[in-house]
Amino acid sequence: MSGVNRRILVTGGAGFIGSHLCERLVRSGEDVLCVDNYFTGTRANIAALIGDPRFEAMRHDVTFPLYVEVDRIFNMACPASPVHYQHDPVQTTKTSVHGAINMLGLAKRTRARILQASTSEVYGDPREHPQAEPYWGHVNPIGPRACYDEGKRCAETLFFDYHRQHRLEIKVARIFNTYGPRMHPNDGRVVSNFVVQALRGDPITVYGDGTQTRSFCYVDDLVDGLLKLMDSPGDETGPVNLGNPVEFTMLQLAELVLTLTGSSSRIVKAPLPADDPKQRRPDITRATKLLDWKPTTPLEEGLKPTIAYFRLALGLGPARSIHAPRAAAGTP
């Protein structure tokens, strides 16, 4: 994505992934409007951009209409961890559904191309492995995770209906587990949980027997994929899986975190949460063919700057390696 004086709206732009996306867009020469209600996002995530003439931040909740002039929209707004999206499940559903309606309405008025940050959670506890985009999923519509899972599924429905009915240029990315600097220390996701517990010397909590799997994509790789999807030909709507197909068990992740942190924490077991998927791995064939994209950061290498970030965030002093976002020359 190259700067041509486009005005790019990023909802949820002060969040974990959104803030990295805003940085990449600004550094590639785009004018960026970051919109966030700061429920899970923080001003600290975008502090380095404040004062840049190409960047503007606005406090706003996407469940209410927004009247701005933009050329492209990245709809990233929604709590994405169980701790946060289950805190107020009704509001989570509103953010996904009402937020999608409001952003699609804005895109319709301005004729902006719009990308929806969907999620691997649309596949639920999958009965197909790995998960490819044609798979419809296995989701409990009345369970404790449904506010997020079904909210995102409904948002996808709205995007495709606006595309068919109003000929909007849409892009739908299904994001799999992403990690990196600026994750919230208390978001309840497995990478942040394990790293924070290890750094504090607390027991590392592994749910179930630890054999359930996840695939972890470093945030820089994920942002590469989002930018490439937004720039793909207009008739390519997606959905497109974006994630790392290399699969790890929870026990493997816990042991790797212990090694990299040098922690003496012990691993303890706890009951598996309701509707927690037992396997999660993306089939990225479509992303590879359509976008010429695949993640390049091994888990061990991505965990190093992530751990360094959490050392500082927890007030444990500087670490050997601190994440530095890639220069604009590396932006697709």
Please give the mean pLDDT across all residues of the chain: 91
Which of the residues are catalytic? 148
Tell me the pairing of strands 31-36 and 7-11: parallel
DSSP three-state, residue 55: strand
Q: How do residues 135-189 score in pLDDT, each as one tens digit? A: 999 999 999 989 989 999 999 999 999 999 999 999 999 999 999 999 988 888 8
Task: Please tell me the predicted confidence (pLDDT) of residue 323.
Answer: 38
Task: Please tell me the predicted confidence (pLDDT) of residue 254.
Answer: 96
**Torsional sign, CA 45, 46, 49, 54:** positive
Task: Please tell me the predicted confidence (pLDDT) of residue 186.
Answer: 83
80-94 burial code (b ≥16 CB/10 A, e <16): bbbebbbeebebbbb
Number of H helices, E strands in the chain: 9, 13
Q: Does the domain at residues 7-325 carry the CATH identifier 3.40.50.720?
A: yes
Q: What is the largest CA-CA distance in the chain?
A: 58
Burial class for 203, CB neighbours closer than 10 Å (0-12, 13-18, 19+): middle
Task: Please tell me the predicted confidence (pLDDT) of residue 187.
Answer: 82
Q: Is the pLDDT of residue 320 over 70?
A: no
Dihedral pair phi/psi, residue 247, rounded to 5°: -100, 140
H-helix segments, the chain: 16-27, 82-85, 89-110, 146-166, 190-200, 219-230, 250-261, 285-291, 299-313
What is the mean predicted confidence (pLDDT) over 122-140? Answer: 92
Q: How do residues 195-230 score in pLDDT, each as one tens digit? A: 999 999 999 999 888 998 899 999 999 999 999 999
Q: Is the pLDDT of residue 301 over 70?
A: yes
Are the CB atoms for 70 and 25 separated by under 8 Å? Answer: no
Angle at alpha carbon of residue 172, lines to 68 and 32, rounded to 5°:
35
Task: Please tell me the predicted confidence (pLDDT) of residue 325.
Answer: 36
Dihedral pair phi/psi, residue 289, rounded to 5°: -75, -45
Task: Please tell me the predicted confidence (pLDDT) of residue 331.
Answer: 31
Cα–Cα distance measured from residue 260 to residue 245, given in angstroms and rounded to the nearest whole number: 22
pTM, to two decimals: 0.90
Q: Give Cβ neighbours of residue 96 (< 8 Å, ≥ 6 apart).
A: 78, 148, 151, 152, 154, 155
Tokens of 10: 């990023």
Task: Please tell me the predicted confidence (pLDDT) of residue 280.
Answer: 82
Q: Is the pLDDT of residue 66 over 90?
A: yes
Cα–Cα distance measured from residue 212 to residue 214, given in angstroms and rounded to the nearest whole number: 7
Q: At what angle do helices 146-166 and 89-110 cross, to 10 degrees?
A: 20
Q: Is the pLDDT of residue 84 over 90?
A: no
Q: Is the pLDDT of residue 285 over 50?
A: yes
Share of the chain above pLDDT 70, in %: 91
Q: How do residues 27-57 score in pLDDT, each as one tens digit? A: 999 999 999 999 889 999 999 999 999 999 9
Task: Please tell me the predicted confidence (pLDDT) of residue 83.
Answer: 67
Task: Please tell me the predicted confidence (pLDDT) of residue 321.
Answer: 36
What is the mean predicted confidence (pLDDT) over 60-79? Answer: 95
